[in-house]
Amino acid sequence: MKFTAVLAVIAGILMIIGGAWAISFTYQNVSRENIITPSDASIPNTLVRGPLTLKSQADIIRTHALRSADGQTYSEMPRQIPKLDKEGNTVLDEEGNQVMVTNEARDTWVTATALVTALNLGIITYLFSGLIILLGLISVWTGLIFYIISKKT
């Protein structure tokens, strides 16, 4: 039982170290981007560092992307749209057909989705790392209890 106790303590210590490293790694990688939430974010004008500011930034990026796309998501937008001239009139080819161009709102949506996904992964990393630290503390505590019980028997 002493061997099991020692293994539980060692495993717990390794989990705590791993979880703390992951939090530090995530913090450093997010910090080096120098992201500041915009004034209309739920946490305005704040450096993005931890899970709450990551969430605030992800939410506002999605809000801005929806606003720029007239409330449509990527799958709701057409791949191509009619080309417009300077006056806002549809441009026609020699045969009288609309000239179609790439829908730039879809490209913006793809970029926004990539950014939101990266920010959300940061949140998940923080939460998962916290869980690993908690499990490490439980493992250390269990190992210590096993060790104490083994000394009494």
**Total-model pTM:** 0.82
User: Which amino acid, residue 38?
Assistant: P
* Angle at 55 (CA atoms; ends 58, 124), nearest 5 degrees: 105
Q: Tens digit of pLDDT for each residue in 92-127?
A: 888 888 999 999 999 999 999 999 999 999 999 999
Q: Tens digit of pLDDT for each residue in 3-21?
A: 999 999 999 999 999 999 9
Beta strands, E only, 8-55: none
- Helix, strand, or coil (residue 77): coil
Using alpha carbons only, how large is the chain's radius of gyration in Å?
26
pLDDT higher than threshold 90 for residue 152: no
pLDDT higher than threshold 90 for residue 56: yes
